[in-house]
Amino acid sequence: MALNSNKDYLEKVELLNRYARAYYVDDAPLVPDYEYDRLYLELETYEQAHPDEVVPYSPTLRVGGAALKEFASVEHKVPLLSIGDIFNNDELVDFDKRMSEAAKVSLVEYCAEPKLDGLAVSLIYKNGLLVQASTRGDGHFGEDITENAKTIKAIPLNLEGEHVPSYLDVRGEVFMPRDGFEKWNERARLTGGKVFANPRNAAAGSLKQLDSKVTAKRPLTFNAYYVGECEGYTLPNNQYDRLLELKKLGLPVNPLIKKVYGVKSLDEFYKDILAKRPSLNYDIDGVVLKVNDLNLQDALGFTAKSPRWAVAYKFPPEEMLTRLLDVEFQVGRTGAITPVARLDPVYVGGATVSNATLHNADEIERLGVRIGDMVIVRRAGDVIPQIAGVALDRRSNDTREIVFPEVCPECGSKIERVPGEAVARCTGELVCPAQIREAILHFVSREAMDIEGFGDRIVEELVSSKMVKAVSDLYTLNETDLALLILDKGSQSKAPRLLGHVIAKKLVDAIEHSKKAPLNRFIYALGIREVGVSTARTLATHFKTFDDLMQADFNALTNLPDIGEVVANHIRDFFLEKHNLEIIKKLLSAKDSIEQGCGIVLESLKQVRDMTASQLPLLNNTYVITGTLDSMDRNTCKNRLVALGAKVSGSVSKKTTALICGDDPGSKFTKAQSLNIKIIYEGELLTWLEDLEKSQQNG
């Protein structure tokens, strides 16, 4: 029925919020989904006709607002600290002993809770309305994610009850349930969307979207677990009853929390939750044990990083038995041969695992594993699949030995293992398709020659069609040949398609643009073992020309900072290989020369320093990276900064331009604050880097 008045409208808002609470907080739905959807449509229709009457706690406001350019920094009035970890019963006994001595009682009362594997947040309510949400950050400063939090249906936009706190800071965990995670990934695979590695990554990535409309589409939920501060409202003086009070206010609380007494009960709770773990609809990685009495909490206080009155008792890495079906050998960019176990698929640590690395021949020998064995699969840190052992008592008579190949599975070249090294390598180098493929992807990457547009599929087809047999062949490609390149030939989900002239022209233009390159980028692009972005810059700074570097002897190399004997030997070996020299000659020779080369012109670092600010916008700036970044690893961040002209240091000083700050930063953050150094949080980092990189390309 249509809503005819503001009174009808407010009643419908209250009704829908009550239904939402019953569904998300009480886990006791009052109406079918279709009935909720019908009432929601009535509410939405009324609000469209009467926009001035929309209240800030209407459920229609959860769709997300305008996209942000960056996340603002938020200071936590009460620090949002992490909790210290314990891993065994002895440490549990020690923790309980300390608490008993502090409380001067034999049995301490605890509030025991599952440790949810998501993202910690702080929610601020003023007079019952949600006004701010922020991430943990470093515990003292986080990022403002208010608009994203409002899209999560389990987080109430307004608290329930006639009497609510005038101010409430409630802490909790945003996470993605397993069923929502599986449905999201299934849909993403069908539509070509983003597939997440695990629910925690999915929650973190979803909550840190600059566009809250994106967050609104993700199946996130929330559980409250602590009160940071409360005013204008009397809360119970213990942790367990406070959580029950939060539930009365409409905030969801995990149903498995329990009040327990003494170390025996703590251990029983731990074992009970560990047994329930596989059947839960959300990921947990342990239990959190808190002294229940708040007066005792206050007396025990905090260390610099965590409360003394609480610990997280972590579960061991989740392990499962499955059968090793076969072992395949993969070839990496440097020729490293890696044995990969093909497994009978098994659900471990929140994900289905069908492959696991066996690292090298030494690891295979150490494990004593054979094809056909029942093996113990562990996701180390609940992320990386690995074979932890073999169930020898279940070994059958038809298992067979894992034989390390003598020749490369990609090119047939001999495989060698240098004495003292665990890794075996293909000697084919630039004639090996796997190494060529990876070498090209490395050569065109942003930190190397920065030839935009060459993704995995294009490079794969160029190599398999033999249009490109070495990195120098990239410079022989023309628009016509590229336009006729066929992609996705083996794909089941997409029909084969031509690359086309538009994309082909962009690729040819990008190749041409790369012919003027800084010396350090060219050195890095060659893919010399152990020579990363920083080492390439060191070499380019010392050796003014590429010829100088090629002629450098062992002593000249080892005299440079950060270059030891191993790296020096890799550099010398690279330049002693005839086929490497042939490729380099082709790359650097002019097109009108006898060699008919590529004509790449190298700029010394002196020339690089003389570039305009738009070409190297971060030149003479020094950055330090701390904490965990969700959007990229720290090495990628470092490489992007260096490519923009910056220096990346491992320590904060007065010369530091700014600190790049991820989650859970360490002492570098405190030092940067004490020196009044600018802090760049991850929310603004991505936009900032992208803007600088665009200006660099246009320059």
Q: Are residues 309 and 324 in the same domain?
A: no
Tokens of 465: 């069609």
pLDDT at 490: 45
Q: How far apart are CA 569 and CA 571, in angstroms?
A: 5
- Give, rounded to a whole angstrom, the gap between the first and last alpha carbons of the chain: 61
Query: The domain containing residue 169 runs over which residues?
Result: 85-314
**Helix axes of 634-643 and 533-542: crossing angle, nearest 10 degrees:** 30
At 316, give phi and psi (nearest 5°). -65, 155
Q: How far apart are CA 481 and CA 498, in angstroms?
A: 11
The DSSP annotation for 553-620 comes to -HHHHHTSTT--HHHHHHHHHHHH-HHHHHHHHHHHS-TTSTT-----EEEPHHHHHTS-TTTSTTTT
Q: Which residues are CB-contacts of 100 (< 8 A; sequence separation ≥ 6)?
A: 106, 107, 108
25 DSSP assignment:
T
**Helix axes of 178-191 and 199-207: crossing angle, nearest 10 degrees:** 80
Active site residues: 115
Q: Are residues 106 and 42 in the same domain?
A: no
Split into its structural domains, the chain has a count of 6
In a domain, 78, yes or no: no
Q: Which residues are CB-contacts of 97 (< 8 A; sequence separation ≥ 6)?
A: none
Buried residues in 414-429 as b, exposed as e (16+ CB within 10 A): ebeeeeeeebbbbebb
Least confident range from 66-70, 316-320, 383-387, 432-436: namely 66-70
Q: Are residues 202 and 347 in the same domain?
A: no
Least confident range from 205-209, 233-237, 383-387, 460-464: namely 383-387
Q: Is the pLDDT of residue 381 over 50?
A: no
CATH number at residue 660: 3.40.50.10190
Q: Is the pLDDT of residue 97 over 90?
A: yes
Using only C-alpha atoms, the chain has a radius of gyration, in whole angstroms, of 30
Q: Are residues 182 and 289 in the same domain?
A: yes
pLDDT higher for 383 or 104? 104
Q: Is the pLDDT of residue 690 over 60?
A: yes
Q: Is the pLDDT of residue 567 over 60?
A: yes
CATH number at residue 562: 1.10.150.20
pLDDT at 92: 95
Confidence of residue 493 (pLDDT cuts 50, 70, 90): very low
pLDDT digits (tens, 9 = 90+) for 151-168: 999 999 999 988 999 999
Q: Is the pLDDT of residue 384 over 90?
A: no
Buried residues in 188-209 as b, exposed as e (16+ CB within 10 A): eeeeeeeebebbbebbbbbbbb
314, 330, 353 — which closes off a domain?
A: 314
283, 314, 345 — which closes off a domain?
A: 314
Which range among 109-118, 348-357, 467-476, 495-504 has the greatest average pLDDT?
A: 109-118
Tokens of 506: 């962009």
Q: Are residues 661 and 576 in the same domain?
A: no
Q: Are residues 603 and 618 in the same domain?
A: no
pLDDT digits (tens, 9 = 90+) for 14-32: 888 888 777 666 666 777 7
Q: Report the relative pairing of strands 284-291 and 109-116 from DSSP bridges.
A: antiparallel
Hey, which residues does 129 pair with through a beta bridge? Answer: 126, 158
Q: What is the mean pLDDT of residues 578-586?
A: 85
pLDDT at 369: 94
In a domain, 70, yes or no: no
Q: Is the pLDDT of residue 495 over 60?
A: no
At 664, give phi and psi (nearest 5°). 55, 55
Least confident range from 239-248, 313-322, 428-437: namely 428-437
Q: Are residues 411 and 335 in the same domain?
A: yes
Tokens of 120: 């910690």
Q: Is the pLDDT of residue 612 over 70?
A: no
Beta carbons within 10 angstroms of residue 562's beta carbon = 9
The answer to whether 281 and 305 have CB atoms below 8 angstroms apart is: no
Q: Is the pLDDT of residue 699 over 60?
A: no
CATH number at residue 201: 3.30.470.30
In a domain, 496, yes or no: yes
In a domain, 586, yes or no: yes
Q: Are residues 197 and 268 in the same domain?
A: yes
The answer to whether 334 and 527 have CB atoms below 8 angstroms apart is: yes
**In whole angstroms, how far apart are CA 109 and each of 163, 242, 259?**
30, 14, 7
pLDDT digits (tens, 9 = 90+) for 325-344: 999 998 887 788 989 999 99
Tokens of 630: 């969700």
Tokens of 652: 């904060």
Site of tokens 């959190």: 288
In a domain, 623, yes or no: yes
Q: Are residues 251 and 385 in the same domain?
A: no
Q: Are residues 41 and 93 in the same domain?
A: no
pLDDT at 637: 85
Q: Is the pLDDT of residue 323 over 90?
A: yes
Hey, which residues does 626 pair with through a beta bridge? Answer: 661
Q: What is the mean pLDDT of residues 446-468?
A: 87
- What 3-state class would DSSP assign to 82? coil
Q: Is the pLDDT of residue 183 over 90?
A: no
pLDDT at 57: 84
Q: Are residues 278 and 369 in the same domain?
A: no
Q: Are residues 234 and 176 in the same domain?
A: yes
Beta carbons within 10 angstroms of residue 474's beta carbon = 23
Which range among 43-52, 107-116, 573-582 has the greatest average pLDDT?
A: 107-116
Q: What is the mean pLDDT of residues 266-285?
A: 90
Hey, which residues does 458 pair with through a beta bridge? Answer: none
In a domain, 76, yes or no: no
Beta carbons within 10 angstroms of residue 401's beta carbon = 9
**Residue 694 exposed, middle or buried by CB count within 10 Å (0-12, 13-18, 19+):** exposed
Q: Is the pTM of this model over 0.75?
A: no
Q: What is the mean pLDDT of residues 411-432?
A: 77
In a domain, 601, yes or no: yes
347 DSSP assignment:
E
The answer to whether 42 and 12 have CB atoms below 8 angstroms apart is: yes
CATH number at residue 33: 1.10.287.610
Q: Is the pLDDT of residue 290 over 80?
A: yes
Percent residues over pLDDT 90 in the chain: 33
In a domain, 192, yes or no: yes
Q: Is the pLDDT of residue 491 over 50?
A: no
What average pLDDT does the chain have? 85
607, 640, 673 — which closes off a domain?
A: 607
Which range among 43-57, 283-297, 520-534, 685-699 has the greatest average pLDDT?
A: 283-297
Maximal C-alpha separation, the chain: 90
Least confident range from 42-46, 350-354, 365-369, 674-678: namely 350-354
